Amino acid sequence: MTLEAILAYLHLLAILTMVVFVASEAALCRIEWINAAVVERLARVDMVYGIAAVLVLLTGVLRTWLGVKGTGWYWTNPLLHIKLTLFIIVGVLSAFPTMTYIRWRKTLRATGALPAEVEVRKTRKLVMIQAHLIALIPLFAVFLARGFGK
């Protein structure tokens, strides 16, 4: 029971970290705020977001393997598959801003040039889509935790 509580805590902590950092990206990635320091910061914030996402996945998988309900209960529930599908979609979408931030930082360091307005708006839109999709995942989680989908 203690292991279950610790895994649940670590999973929740990773989720909250992920949400905080995707929200930070959304706040920073605005054409009005883009400057050299923000470009550098976006790359760092995105790195923490990515690490948190990996920890969300890792702690979630550990909960299915080591938790009280076990793999048979979780992996046969379609709600878990919906959660994972949404998480994978968010992960694929997040690759584009990540590569963009790396490119922005490389260009900034090489030439001092800031990203174009159209690029900032496009990137922010992808970040916002991620944030909204992440907000849907707990909806399926609460129903999953209460035995729906079985």
Q: How is the chain split into domains, by residue range?
A: 2-145
Condensed to tens digits (0 to 9), the pLDDT of residues 102-148 reads 999 999 999 999 999 999 999 999 999 999 999 999 999 999 989 89
What is the model's pLDDT at position 15? 97
Residue 149 is predicted with a pLDDT of: 83
What pTM value is reported for the model?
0.93
Four-CA torsion 132, 19, 48, 117, nearest 10 degrees: 40
Alpha-carbon separation of residue 135 from 19, 20, 62, 87, 132 (angstroms): 9, 12, 22, 11, 5
Predicted local distance difference test score (pLDDT) of residue 1: 76
Cα 20 to Cα 40, 71, 73, 76, 85: the distances in Å are 18, 29, 30, 31, 21
